[in-house]
Amino acid sequence: MSSHHFVKEQQEPAVFILNTEGLSFDIISPLLEWVPTVLVWQECLDQVLSWGIKVDVILAEEAFQRANLYLLEEQYPVKFLTAEKANFLKGGLHYLQATQHKGAHLVGFSHQNWGSLGPETEFLDLTILDGGWKYYPVKNGTFKKWFVASTIRILGTEGMPLEISNAEGKLFLPLIYLTQVGVPEGITEIKGADVFWVGEEV
């Protein structure tokens, strides 16, 4: 149906698989529910195909493309996007911007590299899935969400002042590279002076 096609093209965040180490299909599977565009870096391709995931775009070096031309037929209508190991993330994100996508789940992207996503977070709503945790950016300085009693993580610029308020009261602290905070059941609000990322276990 054309309406469903429209969802696939634009609205649903793409799934961009950069690394499958330590990942199981169960973690990725909920992201595939609405048939998003799926981008995969060449080194993850065998694993992703073995999970039965339909791939739309393979980011690959030219030598890999030449050696795997059969995939264009076998996985039709897949396409290759030429990229080098050093810059395939940028290549994939530029492709998503050019094809009018609004967001993407970066699967297997190391949360330690959140800082390298700076410019891209302005144009795309990005989430990071890394090692059983899901991180999403807070761009306007204020975050508010209902949590079950759990531990959350906050990533951001070292030393940035944070204000965390919930049923247990208010906490003021400077952000260390990765701050872990226990939150009670209920609404937690976090304020920061700049972009920060909130992580929760998936």
The per-residue pLDDT for range 26-47, each reduced to its tens digit, is 888 989 988 899 999 999 999 9
CA distances from 108 to 18, 30, 59, 78, 162 (A): 5, 15, 15, 21, 27
Q: Is the dihedral of CA 180, 144, 196, 121 positive or negative?
A: positive
Neighbours of 183 (CB within 10 A): 21
pLDDT digits (tens, 9 = 90+) for 86-140: 889 999 999 999 999 999 999 999 998 988 887 788 889 999 999 889 999 998 8
Q: Give the strands of the sheet with 57-60, arranged side by side.
A: 79-82, 57-60, 38-41, 14-17, 103-107, 125-130, 133-138, 196-201, 150-156, 178-183
138-176 pLDDT, tens digit each = 988 999 999 999 999 999 999 999 999 999 999 999 998
